[in-house]
């Protein structure tokens, strides 16, 4: 793989141990994927942040890099395993908290912005169309490629960090225009009315398309909430890192003649909803997977006005969206009801299975997928129903 003089110097260790290690990771990756060269990236989003996923080995790796490593481009973080400030109120064990704070401290020394959100595009890390980036969180990757038109592969923790420390990533996969073409046309033959419909549909299609690129026809409108729900669902049941929606996403003007196709009907939508539901009455309600937008927070506040929650209700969002919510007056209404903002974290990366909950109600297919893997039962329902469920009690 071709390296510039500056990149050769990094590889030779002339810019420090961490940069050398990062360059070794990128060169090894580039060789595996036959990349001709590296490409500069404008931002990085790192997904390995929760101590629940990283463990001691991950913490040790980060601490070693933090001795002399520094981010060269804007670097933001995925959710951690707890709120960085209110972890006690979340019931988090102090042993876990100590390790999680050590992880955050290492990222801080590395020069990352301590954002801890899976919607960096709502919290100050929004790339432009055509920009090369190196992002890790799967839903954000799918959103960035598909909705924004930026270019990123689905980076693992070490490769995203390596991109941060060098400002580069190997030029392969979705960085190349020829790899961004649809592999499967999906004709949507039913009305998708709510973000949850997009979530269920994405979960259903993700299982069929696996790591391909679906091209959706028949969707006439989809806003930010629908697109982020679709991104997360496709990336959780499959390995989708990019999709197109005819007439709506920026690279959807492509020729799909001859591409394999299938239909998605109202029956499929019903089936998708039912495979995401277990038996049981919810004892925990969590919304905001991916992290809530301000519009979703506004809806929650409207539903909770003069209400009290009887079950634990987590509203997962970024600190930036919470700041906007404070300003708009939504936060006071939500907190007065007894619901909690879960900042810096989410229902999946926090160890909620250890907090004694058994059945989680959520409006996200992705959350259902991972919570089930963690041994919890799930109920999939629209945002409005989730909030009402939390106020009902058993
Ligand atoms: Fe975000 Fe956690 Fe869902 S990281 S996409 S809220 S699983």
Q: What is the pLDDT of residues 108-161, one digit of tens each?
A: 999 999 999 999 999 999 999 999 999 999 999 999 999 999 999 999 999 999
- Which of 366, 370, 374, 380 gets mutated to test ligand 1 (max ligand atoms within 8 A of its CB)? 366
Contacts of 149 (CB under 8 A, 6+ apart): 129, 130, 249, 250, 251
Question: One digit per residue, pLDDT tens: the chain, 394 residues?
Answer: 999 999 999 999 999 999 999 999 999 999 999 999 999 999 999 998 999 999 999 999 999 999 999 999 999 999 999 999 999 998 999 999 999 999 999 999 999 999 999 999 999 999 999 999 999 999 999 999 999 999 999 999 999 999 999 999 999 999 999 999 999 999 999 999 999 999 999 999 999 999 999 999 999 999 999 999 999 999 999 999 999 999 999 999 999 999 999 999 999 999 999 999 999 999 999 999 999 999 999 999 999 999 999 999 999 999 999 999 999 999 999 999 999 999 999 999 999 888 899 999 999 999 999 999 999 999 999 999 999 999 996 6
- Which of 46, 116, 289, 378 gets mutated to test ligand 1 (max ligand atoms within 8 A of its CB)? 289
Q: Ligand 1 center to residue 391 CA distance, Å?
A: 23
Q: What pLDDT shows up at residue 141?
A: 98
Q: What pLDDT shows up at residue 394?
A: 61
Closest C-alpha residue for ligand 1 atom 7 = 348
- Which of 77, 367, 369, 373 gets mutated to test ligand 1 (max ligand atoms within 8 A of its CB)? 367
Spatial distance between the Cα atoms of 128 and 150, rounded to a whole number of angstroms: 6
The pTM assigned to this predicted structure is 0.98
Helix (H) or strand (E) holding 54: helix 51-65
Tokens of 215: 């091209």
User: Do the Cβ atoms of 344 and 319 come closer than 8 Å?
Assistant: yes
Q: What pLDDT shows up at residue 393?
A: 67
Spatial distance between the Cα atoms of 234 and 211, rounded to a whole number of angstroms: 9
Closest C-alpha residue for ligand 1 atom 5 = 290
| Ligand 1 pocket at CB < 6 A | 78-79, 118, 139, 232, 289-291, 316, 346, 348-349, 366-367, 370
Atom of ligand 1 nearest to the CA of 78: 4
Please list the residues that pair with 99 across neighbouring strands: none
Helix (H) or strand (E) holding 72: none
DSSP state of 357: -
Contacts of 356 (CB under 8 A, 6+ apart): none
Strand 134-135 and strand 43-46: the pairing is: parallel
User: Do the Cβ atoms of 228 and 293 come closer than 8 Å?
Assistant: yes
pLDDT in tens, 350-377: 998 888 999 999 999 999 999 999 999 9
Q: Ligand 1 center to residue 217 CA distance, Å?
A: 27
Count of other CB atoms within 10 angstroms of residue 181:
15
Q: Ligand 1 center to residue 120 CA distance, Å?
A: 12
Tokens of 26: 């990128």
């Amino acid at each position: 793989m071709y390296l510039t003089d500056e990149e050769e110097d990094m590889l030779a260790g002339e810019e420090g141990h961490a940069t050398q290690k990062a360059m070794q990771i990128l060169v090894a990756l580039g060789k595996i994927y036959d990349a001709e060269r590296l490409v500069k990236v404008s931002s990085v989003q790192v997904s390995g942040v929760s101590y629940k996923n990283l463990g001691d080995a991950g913490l040790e790796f980060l601490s070693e890099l933090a001795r002399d490593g520094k981010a060269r481009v804007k670097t933001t973080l995925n959710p951690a395993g707890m709120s960085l400030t209110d972890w006690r109120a979340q019931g988090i064990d102090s042993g876990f908290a100590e390790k999680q704070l050590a992880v955050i401290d290492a990222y801080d020394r590395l020069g990352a912005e301590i954002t801890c959100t899976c919607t960096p595009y709502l919290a100050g890390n929004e790339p432009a169309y055509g920009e090369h980036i190196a992002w890790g969180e799967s839903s954000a990757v799918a959103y960035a490629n598909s909705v924004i038109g930026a270019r990123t592969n689905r980076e693992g923790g070490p490769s995203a960090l390596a991109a941060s420390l060098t400002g580069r990533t190997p030029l392969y996969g979705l960085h190349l225009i020829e790899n961004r073409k649809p592999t499967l046309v999906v004709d949507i033959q039913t009305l998708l009315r709510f973000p949850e419909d997009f979530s269920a549909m994405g979960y259903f299609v993700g299982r069929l398309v696996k790591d391909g690129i679906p091209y959706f026809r028949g969707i006439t409108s989809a806003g930010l909430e629908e697109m982020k729900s679709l991104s997360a669902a496709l990336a959780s049941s499959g390995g989708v890192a990019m999709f197109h929606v005819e007439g709506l996403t920026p690279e959807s003007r492509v020729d799909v003649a001859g591409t394999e196709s299938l239909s998605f009907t109202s029956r499929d939508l019903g089936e998708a909803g039912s495979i995401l539901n277990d038996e049981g009455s919810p004892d925990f309600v969590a919304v905001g997977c991916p992290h809530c937008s301000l519009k979703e927070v506004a809806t929650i506040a409207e539903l909770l006005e003069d209400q009290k929650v009887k079950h634990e209700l987590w509203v997962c969002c970024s600190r930036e969206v919470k700041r906007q919510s404070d300003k708009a007056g939504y936060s006071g209404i939500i907190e007065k009801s007894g619901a909690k903002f879960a900042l810096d974290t989410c229902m999946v990366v926090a160890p909620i299975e250890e907090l004694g909950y058994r059945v989680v109600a959520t409006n996200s297919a992705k959350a259902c997928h991972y919570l089930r893997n963690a041994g919890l039962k799930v109920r999939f329902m629209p945002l409005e129903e989730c909030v009402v469920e939390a106020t009902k009690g058993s």
